[in-house]
Structure 1
């Protein structure tokens, strides 16, 4: 089995991304030390500020992701304190057992869920992806490597493209506008729709020969068109989930998706042919509209989730949190219209006589109770929820 964690820099990026994300999840919006401060000799407690409970959760997250319990080495994490220590322990664990990894879902409905994947199936996926992306000389990544999308495209795929670790560059500390002067012919840019939207707004013209990949959320057709108009050679859109990995791809807006060779659809399930010839079934999160023999279009989600910054969020859950506020009588939550923004908005009906000072109290409430993508960016108040003349729920202006 391929030792994907070698050279060390690849594993270090994975470990730091995971630990920083876990720290941010626990702190709910409190700033986390930037990557520039995660030096090899930095202590997770004294230098990076992790307390004992945070250290415990970070150790659990790393052990869960790399299945360190399979090698029996996870107990060493809490006995060590530096970034280099944890990277070394992770490497030793992988040297003993590397056949499976787990990736967490976003946790928008509560606690994140761990989704295990055999390394063989991940390699099966990137082997096909490499055939769709020939001629790439560098990988520029704007996504974290511990998420399944980032892991596939920035950890495993470079090897299949014949690239080395030095050919992978992290864009997250740079403005998307950097692409105008820093991108080169042969680059593969791995990002999500929110990041690509910023590119379209700040980069008038991309250098020739740059190919993009987007996933984690549906890419609006107008955005894909705009990026191509700005010089992007091609935007490969990947459809999938943390549970399944990539299911299908398309290379142009409005075209149907084409399943990866090892996937087929059977009713409301996606069926994967595994490397050993057996099959695994996964329930689909979206309605699938067949086009021809194998291609398809994506319909509405079964679970009513919406995408904010590449993260699945559930307006119903956000509404429940607002209703728990002692001064709120009713609430409605929905995604902003395209002309308003890309975040959630809320309409709140205060309890009688409870409207004075409620708005700042609500912002404090959601900052404490919700993760950043879930927090309504605009909250309006009124005596009753907006309704159409027919009595059905109606939209409202976020900036009114």
Structure 2
């Protein structure tokens, strides 16, 4: 736990500014289903209406998202957001609210319908985890972060962890404005790099050599074995893989893909398929049922199998091929469709096989489908390869089969 008298997590203000900026950008991109024209980082005097083109409905959605995340309703200051337009004003309102209530935060994830769902976490629980994480990363001088601060992974590692490491001057560098190749010239001994598998794959491809004593962390999705092996050839001292979810926060960790995950000290196995018990700071315990299939390795370790809810990971985001298929099949030009994750040699996105209705031209159907997915689906859900055929691919037993793109 942070030492008594230590600064609250939202100070200095730059920490909260990054949190609010990341949340606003993410929510606005979700509303618009596409990238924003104004690149980050954003200054405090950025006007949400003038500079981002936010309309009244979007403003309400953004204010609701921030109020939910930081529990602004507990202080009664959430209505001030609708009366202000500057990003810096929203940061100040959040700061004033947190000074009155900061005991819990809400993070969002994707549910089985593809819609975000709220996951409430007491701050004490998050600090309990970070106290253990701090023991895994001693003598770090900077945190280099390629993930947003309002997601639970980014919050734990780029907001709470620097303070828990006991170095008040620990610098946090946002990597999202640079390509991973920047690490070749910008990384320094003692750095801790917080990223996701796609980022590490790009590091393996573009960084010839890292300085010594640079440690990496990966989470949000399983890191392919070939990526974890390749990134170590760049000179990375070690790559720590963290397993967890928005509902649970971190559960286990490992330093090699050849090893099982070790449970964090506050977790233990419970009875039931995929059930785990968490010992809470207040002395009570809570049981969670996971969406992943876990195989126990002794009393304190595990391996991870497939998901029970049929989600797949695209860019660290849970997406549901069945939902994407339902969207495709609603189009009048589509008679049937199949959606699945690309094979590793094909890419890391979804692909779709579409059966046109009637005698429609395949190129026209492909154009219509692309227009549909761009308008109806979030970026991670959009199939990037669309194949057209008279019938869905099936194997000799008549079951749906994979196809080449």
TM-score for the superposition, normalised by structure 2: 0.96
The residue number in structure 2 matching 1:282 is 288
The residue number in structure 1 matching 2:36 is 31
Q: CA deviation at 1:33?
A: 1.8
The residue number in structure 2 matching 1:352 is 358
Distance in 2 (alpha carbons) for counterparts of 1:181 and 1:56: 42
Contact kept? 2:143, 2:170, Cα under 8 Å: no
| Pair 1:75 & 2:79 matched | yes
> Helix, strand or coil for the counterpart of 2:24?
helix
> Helix, strand or coil for the counterpart of 1:346?
strand
Residue correspondences, number: 397
The residue number in structure 2 matching 1:13 is 18
Distance in 1 (alpha carbons) for counterparts of 2:404 and 2:276: 39
The residue number in structure 1 matching 2:313 is 307
| Pair 1:395 & 2:402 matched | yes
Contact kept? 1:10, 1:165, Cα under 8 Å: no
Contact kept? 1:24, 1:32, Cα under 8 Å: no
In structure 2, stretches of 5+ residues that fail to align are: none
Q: Deviations over 1:241-292 (max 9, x none)?
A: 0000000000111200011100112123121100011011211111111112
Distance in 2 (alpha carbons) for counterparts of 1:249 and 1:5: 27
Pick closer, same or farther for the CA change 1:322–1:392 going to 2, 3 Å. same
Distance in 2 (alpha carbons) for counterparts of 1:109 and 1:178: 37
Distance in 2 (alpha carbons) for counterparts of 1:165 and 1:191: 21
Q: CA deviation at 1:3?
A: 1.1
Distance in 1 (alpha carbons) for counterparts of 2:388 and 2:396: 20
Q: CA deviation at 1:390?
A: 2.1
| Pair 1:120 & 2:127 matched | no
Contact kept? 2:337, 2:353, Cα under 8 Å: yes
Q: CA deviation at 1:108?
A: 7.1
Pick closer, same or farther for the CA change 1:166–1:47 going to 2, 3 Å. farther
In structure 1, stretches of 5+ residues that fail to align are: none
Distance in 2 (alpha carbons) for counterparts of 1:322 and 1:83: 38
Contact kept? 2:141, 2:170, Cα under 8 Å: no
Q: Relative to structure 2, which stretch is displaced further, 231-240 or 25-34?
A: 25-34
Distance in 2 (alpha carbons) for counterparts of 1:379 and 1:218: 25
Q: Deviations over 1:290-311 (max 9, x none)?
A: 1122111001110111110000
Contact kept? 1:106, 1:112, Cα under 8 Å: yes
Q: Deviations over 1:297-332 (max 9, x none)?
A: 001110111110000111111111110111111111
Distance in 2 (alpha carbons) for counterparts of 1:30 and 1:355: 31
Pick closer, same or farther for the CA change 1:165–1:117 going to 2, 3 Å. farther
| Pair 1:132 & 2:136 matched | yes
Distance in 2 (alpha carbons) for counterparts of 1:291 and 1:47: 53
> Helix, strand or coil for the counterpart of 1:74?
coil
Q: CA deviation at 1:179?
A: 0.4
Q: Deviations over 1:363-396 (max 9, x none)?
A: 0000011000000000000001111122221111
Q: CA deviation at 1:165?
A: 6.1
Pick closer, same or farther for the CA change 1:131–1:30 going to 2, 3 Å. closer
> Helix, strand or coil for the counterpart of 2:303?
strand
TM-score for the superposition, normalised by structure 1: 0.97
The residue number in structure 2 matching 1:86 is 90
| Pair 1:176 & 2:180 matched | yes
The residue number in structure 2 matching 1:378 is 385
Contact kept? 2:125, 2:280, Cα under 8 Å: yes
> Helix, strand or coil for the counterpart of 1:113?
strand
Distance in 2 (alpha carbons) for counterparts of 1:112 and 1:324: 22
> Helix, strand or coil for the counterpart of 1:270?
strand
Pick closer, same or farther for the CA change 1:295–1:107 going to 2, 3 Å. closer
Superposed CA RMSD: 1.3
Pick closer, same or farther for the CA change 1:107–1:15 going to 2, 3 Å. farther
Contact kept? 1:9, 1:165, Cα under 8 Å: no
> Helix, strand or coil for the counterpart of 1:272?
strand
Q: CA deviation at 1:107?
A: 5.7
Distance in 2 (alpha carbons) for counterparts of 1:226 and 1:379: 30
Pick closer, same or farther for the CA change 1:313–1:165 going to 2, 3 Å. farther
Contact kept? 2:114, 2:320, Cα under 8 Å: no
> Helix, strand or coil for the counterpart of 1:45?
helix
Q: CA deviation at 1:355?
A: 3.4
| Pair 1:339 & 2:358 matched | no
